[in-house]
Amino acid sequence: MLSNIRIVLVQTFHPGNIGASARAMKTMGLSDLVVVNPRCFPDPEASRLAAGAEDLVDKARVVESLVDAVSGCVQVVGASARLRSLPLPHFDEPDAMARDLVIRAEHDPVALVFGRERFGLTNDEIRCCSHQASIPANPDYGILNLAQAVQVLSHEVFTAWRRLPNSDYRLPKPIEGRPPSREQLGHFHDHLSRVMQASGFLTQPHARTEAQLQALFARAQPSRRELSLLRGLLAALERDTR
């Protein structure tokens, strides 16, 4: 589904913005990049600012017109900061746009179109679109960098996709170390008790300090590696107290 979502950049002036846009796309699972009449592309600056998304830059298609760029698309959303008098459907909220776009992308290609850095899309280019969308921002200064705009709308699209009932998205699980055995935990607590007694930390035999610390480490659930690190710390403290 995400492979059916095309990002189109029209007459980008700075090649670095193409690379930064590719990076924004890749973080959100998008891969289809089309560039319309860029001032300078390919360019080393585009690859440099892609920062890991050079593959998207390398396979980006360069075309001569927006009509060619959106060929075959069933929905074309023009990103524009300016409201226009053209009678196109306008998405007031990016999340609404993203939900609609993702549904259509299940079976057919769709496109998100971004204009020039300085003045966006022309009226003729907006006429090539089926919809318009804007990114709500500070009314006194609502100017986003091109790659920032690509990032915001790509994130909305990715969020809409992963919330679909049939999405195969899964949150990456943190890498967890092997848990220590009960014997290893027992040795650690014995070691801790010896160090606390030798240092003079335990001065009241009937205090519940040791039990409270055991409960603390039970909640923390340290891995074997972490427990080994703590044992090393205790061994160093033992040497200092001799």
pLDDT number for residue 84: 60
Q: For residue 168, is pLDDT > 80? A: no
pLDDT in tens, 180-221: 999 999 999 999 988 888 888 877 766 688 888 999 999 999
Q: Average pLDDT for residues 68-94, to the nearest whole number?
A: 87
Question: What pTM value is reported for the model?
Answer: 0.73
pLDDT number for residue 203: 76
User: What percent of the chain stands above pLDDT 70?
Assistant: 93
CATH 1.10.8.590-classified regions of the chain: 182-241
Q: For residue 11, is pLDDT > 80? A: yes
pLDDT band at 146 (very low <50, low <70, confident <90, very high): very high
pLDDT band at 73 (very low <50, low <70, confident <90, very high): very high
CATH 3.40.1280.10-classified regions of the chain: 2-162
Q: Convert the chain into a string of H (helix), E (strand) and C (coil).
A: CHHHEEEEEECCCCHHHHHHHHHHHHHCCCCEEEEECCCCCCCHHHHHHHCCCHHHHHHCEEECCHHHHCCCCCEEEEECCCCCCCCCCEECCHHHHHHHHHHHCCCCCEEEEECECCCECCHHHHCCCCEEECCCCCCCCCCCCHHHHHHHHHHHHHHHHHCCCCCCCCCCCCCCCCCCCHHHHHHHHHHHHHHHHHHCCCCCCCCCHHHHHHHHHHHHCCCHHHHHHHHHHHHHHHHHHC
Fold topology of 182-241:
Helicase, Ruva Protein; domain 3 (1.10.8)
pLDDT number for residue 198: 86
Fold topology of 2-162:
Alpha/beta knot (3.40.1280)
Q: For residue 143, is pLDDT > 90? A: no
